[in-house]
Structure 1
Amino acid sequence: MPRKITDLDQLTDRADVVLCDVWGVIHNGVNPFLLSIEALKAARERGQTVILITNSPRPASGVIRQFETIGVDPDCWDDIVTSGDVTRQLVQQAPRAVYFLGPDRDMSLVEGLDIDLAGPEAAQAVLCTGLLEDETEAAEDYRALLAGLRARDLPFICANPDRVVERGDRLVPCAGALADIYAELGGETRIAGKPHAPIYKEVMARAQAIRGSVDMERVLAIGDGVQTDIRGALDNGFQAMFIARGIHAREYVNGRVTDETRLQTFLDAAGVAPAYWMEWLA
């Protein structure tokens, strides 16, 4: 069983850099988690560097605008790296004619890129940021469209590897769920966000720019997604801390109590072994 932590300051002597997930840890898309924000502010006051690492398909500027809307204190982070930031590099390496699959609110992802937006019949690549109507649609609703794209062997660039995300008290599907279907159909997926290496390379470059030399063993990654946050941290050589009251809470929370036996069974089944866990970041 990972060691249970009740206060982030218990790990001050073990981490110089904190890589913190956003959705499910700092906010749920509607409300900020004030204890989490205060914990990160306190970490910075103790001299730790806090970099937010999120699978949001928008560039960091879009995440900051969302923070301003829902009330996330800008003093809780030193820098932000998004899946959208590193995905732009994949788009620039793809064929020029790109089919954009996602809601209009994510169009900032392609601003300034030298590409041509095309319909699915004329495209040479697909860029997916999410479902068009994630409040009412399911990933399976897109299977026929994805099968048609797969029949033409288009590379599928996924800007948000998350399968689901919290929005208020609900879970809504993300682009990662569409990428799973495309891969199941035998299609090629290209992903730079968590758990893949490109986003972590960018994060470490930012950390080194802030602090100078960074000891990889003194980097702590925090998140609530086992296949993105925790697997990504472990695969890329970082300590990991799992936040239990996130997207997986239904698997092991009874009422208001986390069943630690069920939690351990869940982590074992997922094939991950974080060093620490917390109920909420506090």
Structure 2
Amino acid sequence: MTQIISTLSEVSANYKALFVDLWGCVHNGITAYPAAVAALQDYRKQGGVVVLVTNSPKPRAGVAEQLSQFGVPDDAYDTIATSGDSARAAMFTGAVGQKVYFMGEWQRDAGFFEPMKVIQNPVPITRVPLQEAEGIVCCGPFDPMADPDVNRADFLYAKQMGMKLLCANPDIVVDRGEVREWCAGALAKLYTEMGGESLYFGKPYPPIYDLARRRLAELGVDVSDRDILAIGDGPQTDISGGMGEGVDTLFITGGLAAKDTQTTEQPEPAALEAYIAREQIAPTYSIGFLR
């Protein structure tokens, strides 16, 4: 049974580092949550290290810029690990070929194709039409409000041609303010269900956690798994991912699961237990909102 807590500070002293999700925990895609920011600032003042671990397809620098726009100050975190950086590394080592069909919003996602200094002898990548592609790079849907099924015809062609789909964001949906949008994970899920091969690099898959640990190492921080707390509102990304890594987890119930867990300030205990049983997760702790 998960332990419902009222504030992060009730348990944070037990951990040397936090792996913190962003969307639904620290901001809502439009603006920062002041209480969450304050909780992370307080944790860092006590000597803890905050790694923001996000399924954003953006490179680290792009996420940092976005956070500033949302009102998340620099002193709320130490470093950032993004699904985008993990997926970019795979792309530049040829995971889906040299000629790729890009799915996403180019104005938002162009940074995905910027060179990575850490990759030696990167594969030259060229964006081409689907009929000329060797593989697919998916940062998100062309229209986040459209049902993923609109891509079925293109995916059927891609599957028949043996293309792999590189998914830069395994999230299925996200709430931008009060509006729910489809993410790249929904497209990858459809492609897989159709018999295609999708490659994932964000939560809950190991590559992004490996990157998060490398980010800690860059800071000169060496911590064991028992000293890490993973925080997030995604049951099948943040919580399942943390569980798979063998670290404790804090489930933010007021994000994607707010309705199911009947969260206003805190989750309704019976609704929460029913939800985590249905999702087959076992978060160490749960809280309505990060604070």
Scaled by the length of structure 2, what TM-score is found? Answer: 0.93
Task: Tell me the equivalent position of 2:200.
Answer: 191
| SS of equivalent residue, structure 1 residue 165 | strand
Task: Tell me the equivalent position of 1:178.
Answer: 187
Code of the residue aligned with 2:98 in structure 1: it is R
Deviation at 1:210, TM superposition (A): 2.1
Task: Tell me the equivalent position of 1:153.
Answer: 162
Alignment partner of 1:212 is 2:221: yes
RMSD of equivalent CA atoms: 1.4
C-alpha distance in 2 between matches for 1:6 and 1:229 = 20
Task: Tell me the equivalent position of 1:103.
Answer: 105
C-alpha distance in 2 between matches for 1:66 and 1:44 = 21
C-alpha distance in 2 between matches for 1:41 and 1:67 = 15
Deviation at 1:258, TM superposition (A): 2.8
| 1:81-132 Cα distance to aligned partner (Å, 9 max, x none) | 1000100111122211111111111111012262111110000010000011
| SS of equivalent residue, structure 2 residue 44 | helix
Task: Tell me the equivalent position of 1:223.
Answer: 232
Code of the residue aligned with 1:172 in structure 2: it is E
The equivalent position to 1:235 in structure 2, one of 214, 229, 244, is 244
Task: Tell me the equivalent position of 1:115.
Answer: 125
Task: Tell me the equivalent position of 1:31.
Answer: 31
The equivalent position to 2:172 in structure 1, one of 163, 168, 179, is 163
Task: Tell me the equivalent position of 2:289.
Answer: 280
The equivalent position to 1:248 in structure 2, one of 242, 257, 267, is 257
Q: Is the 8 A contact 1:99 1:120 kept in 2?
A: yes
Deviation at 1:133, TM superposition (A): 1.9
Task: Tell me the equivalent position of 1:18.
Answer: 18
C-alpha distance in 1 between matches for 2:263 and 2:21 = 24
C-alpha distance in 1 between matches for 2:216 and 2:88 = 20
> Structure 1 residues 272 and 67 mapped into 2: Cα distance closer, same or farther (>3 Å)?
same
C-alpha distance in 2 between matches for 1:192 and 1:230 = 16
C-alpha distance in 1 between matches for 2:36 and 2:64 = 17
C-alpha distance in 1 between matches for 2:278 and 2:245 = 20
C-alpha distance in 2 between matches for 1:269 and 1:109 = 35
| SS of equivalent residue, structure 2 residue 57 | coil
Q: Is the 8 A contact 2:32 2:71 kept in 1?
A: yes
| 1:205-233 Cα distance to aligned partner (Å, 9 max, x none) | 22133243212101000000010000000
Code of the residue aligned with 1:100 in structure 2: it is F
Runs of 4+ in 1 over 3 A off after TM superposition: 254-257
| SS of equivalent residue, structure 1 residue 18 | strand
| SS of equivalent residue, structure 2 residue 219 | helix
Q: Is the 8 A contact 1:171 1:247 kept in 2?
A: no
| SS of equivalent residue, structure 2 residue 129 | coil
Q: Is the 8 A contact 2:265 2:289 kept in 1?
A: no
> Structure 1 residues 256 and 221 mapped into 2: Cα distance closer, same or farther (>3 Å)?
closer
| Higher deviation after alignment, 119-128 or 198-207 | 198-207
Deviation at 1:157, TM superposition (A): 0.3
Q: Is the 8 A contact 2:138 2:168 kept in 1?
A: yes
Task: Tell me the equivalent position of 1:142.
Answer: 151
How much identity, in percent, do the aligned residues show? 34
Code of the residue aligned with 1:99 in structure 2: it is Y
C-alpha distance in 1 between matches for 2:187 and 2:58 = 17
Task: Tell me the equivalent position of 2:140.
Answer: 130
Code of the residue aligned with 2:256 in structure 1: it is I
Task: Tell me the equivalent position of 1:77.
Answer: 77
Code of the residue aligned with 2:100 in structure 1: it is V
Deviation at 1:150, TM superposition (A): 1.2
Deviation at 1:167, TM superposition (A): 0.1
Deviation at 1:10, TM superposition (A): 1.2
Code of the residue aligned with 1:244 in structure 2: it is T
